[in-house]
């Protein structure tokens, strides 16, 4: 049974049954070139950088496009604009997609400090804000980004953005092992007059602190995930910016509640759920494996490989929830997953959705279920 607005037409043509699936919208994101960084908080993971051909983007678009009323394709799901042909890919995306999403407020820091034309191109796309990530001072930021020199490149990128009237937004990931460095970020913001410099050109500086989800590489930071008592150590200015950014007056709306609370809630919850939507986004890695964009593209979420399966088979796998993780969530009651993988004594903070995703991934990773 298909759900939502997904339509199936079965008809006979020269004795062959053709099944036509039409999703309301289908978005594909290819990991064509990977990423220069290896961030420790990276939820999409650290697979090796690939080098897919431009023809792959065209070929994959042509294969999947007939299966959706609206179709869009991206050439990245890790670092945007990482490869030298970023302008060509942008134009190609326009041709291959029914309509493209305006450039996200995400940029390639690696490129902006090496390619003078890049920021001009971002301006030409009417970009007014761009997000960058810091973790504290130089050594800590380099450590978390997995690359020496990343900190200084981020600082350079902030200046380049402001010179070009694009407001930087600093995202800060916080864990127990970098919370003591948050005052350094506050100092950097004040000493560099980031807010005033943005106001000068009619922009607005923004900043927010959060702990991120707990999937992909970030799940390895479970042991240093912050607890309720850490929230008071977030410097006042960073708290103020964070509350403003998320439109709330309570940090727990952002950082969530203790694992213990969530455990006690879900240990009584016998629900299951489906992840099928009528407008899915699929990730395609450089080895042509396809995953639904729900959490980290791990093997237990894989819907198939394009070298072995047709687009229709992959879409059917998604719609019929045949990946291991989809099957687990559809068949295993939540309380069973929590019982196996939750920690009733943990004071770590989680948002509800992130916590369930974390447990589901753990359940699959630890082999509690196989197809
Ligand atoms: S978080 Fe972003 S920049 Fe960092 S490794 Fe992952 S994709 Fe690359």
Which atom of ligand 1 lies at the shortest distance from residue 77's CA? 7
Query: Domain for residue 135, yes or no?
Result: yes
Query: Domain for residue 371, yes or no?
Result: no
Whether residue 9 sits in one domain with residue 38: yes
What's the pLDDT score for residue 65? 96
Which atom of ligand 1 lies at the shortest distance from residue 41's CA? 1
Encode pLDDT of 29-82 as tens digits.
999 999 999 999 999 999 999 999 999 999 999 999 999 999 999 999 999 999
How far does the centroid of ligand 1 lie from the alpha carbon of residue 4, in Å? Answer: 33
Stated pTM of the model:
0.93
Rounded to whole angstroms, the Cα distance separating 292 from 282 reads 5
What's the pLDDT score for residue 19? 54
Whether residue 69 sits in one domain with residue 80: yes
Whether residue 139 sits in one domain with residue 81: no
How far does the centroid of ligand 1 lie from the alpha carbon of residue 38, in Å? Answer: 6
What's the pLDDT score for residue 370? 67
Task: List, in order, residues 6 or more apart from 212 with CB less than 8 Å away.
Answer: 41, 43, 173, 218
Residue ranges, the chain, pLDDT below 50: 1-17
Whether residue 340 sits in one domain with residue 292: no
How far does the centroid of ligand 1 lie from the alpha carbon of residue 356, in Å? Answer: 23
- Per the structure, how many domains does the chain have? 3
Query: Domain for residue 286, yes or no?
Result: yes
Pocket test for ligand 1, best of 41, 42, 172 (most atoms within 8 A of CB): 42
Encode pLDDT of 89-102 as tens digits.
999 999 999 999 99
What's the pLDDT score for residue 6? 47
Whether residue 123 sits in one domain with residue 156: yes
Question: Helices 182-191 and 236-245 sit at what angle, rounded to 10 degrees?
Answer: 80
What's the pLDDT score for residue 20? 74
Whether residue 111 sits in one domain with residue 243: yes
What's the pLDDT score for residue 368? 83
Whether residue 300 sits in one domain with residue 236: no
Residue 282 is part of which domain span?
A: 1-101+278-321
What's the pLDDT score for residue 17? 46
Binding site membership of 262 for ligand 1 (Cβ less than 6 Å): no
Whether residue 250 sits in one domain with residue 161: yes
């Amino acid at each position: 049974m298909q759900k939502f607005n997904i339509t199936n037409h079965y008809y006979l043509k020269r004795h062959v049954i053709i099944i036509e699936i039409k999703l309301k919208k289908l978005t594909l994101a290819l990991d064509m070139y990977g990423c220069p960084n290896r961030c420790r908080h990276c939820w999409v993971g650290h697979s090796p950088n690939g080098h897919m051909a431009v023809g792959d983007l065209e070929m994959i678009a042509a294969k999947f496009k007939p299966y959706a009323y609206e179709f869009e394709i991206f050439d990245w799901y890790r670092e945007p604009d990482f490869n030298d042909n970023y302008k060509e890919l942008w134009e190609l995306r326009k041709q291959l997609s029914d309509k493209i999403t305006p450039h996200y407020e995400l940029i390639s820091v690696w490129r902006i400090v090496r390619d003078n034309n890049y920021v001009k191109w971002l301006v030409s796309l009417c970009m007014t804000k761009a997000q960058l990530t810091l973790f504290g001072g130089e050594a800590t930021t380099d450590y978390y980004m997995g690359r020496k020199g990343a900190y200084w490149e981020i600082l350079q990128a902030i200046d380049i953005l402001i010179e070009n009237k694009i407001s930087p937004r600093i995202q800060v990931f916080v864990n127990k092992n970098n919370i003591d460095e948050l005052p350094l970020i506050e100092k950097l913001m004040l000493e560099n007059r980031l807010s005033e410099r943005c106001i000068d050109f009619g922009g607005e500086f923004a900043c927010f602190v959060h702990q991120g989800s707990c999937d992909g590489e970030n799940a390895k930071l479970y042991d240093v995930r912050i607890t309720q008592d850490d929230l008071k150590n977030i410097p006042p200015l960073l708290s103020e910016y964070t509350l403003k950014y998320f439109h709330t007056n309570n940090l727990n709306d952002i950082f969530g509640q203790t694992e213990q609370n969530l455990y006690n809630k879900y240990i009584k919850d016998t629900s299951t759920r489906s992840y099928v939507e009528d407008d899915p986004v699929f990730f395609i890695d450089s080895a042509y494996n396809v995953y639904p964009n729900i959490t980290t593209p791990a093997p237990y979420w894989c819907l198939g490989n394009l070298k072995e399966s047709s687009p229709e088979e992959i879409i059917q796998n998604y719609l019929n929830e045949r990946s291991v993780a989809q099957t687990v969530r559809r068949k295993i009651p939540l309380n069973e997953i929590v019982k196996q993988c939750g920690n009733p004594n943990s004071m770590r903070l989680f948002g509800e959705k992130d916590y369930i995703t974390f447990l589901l991934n753990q359940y699959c990773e630890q082999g509690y279920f196989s197809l």
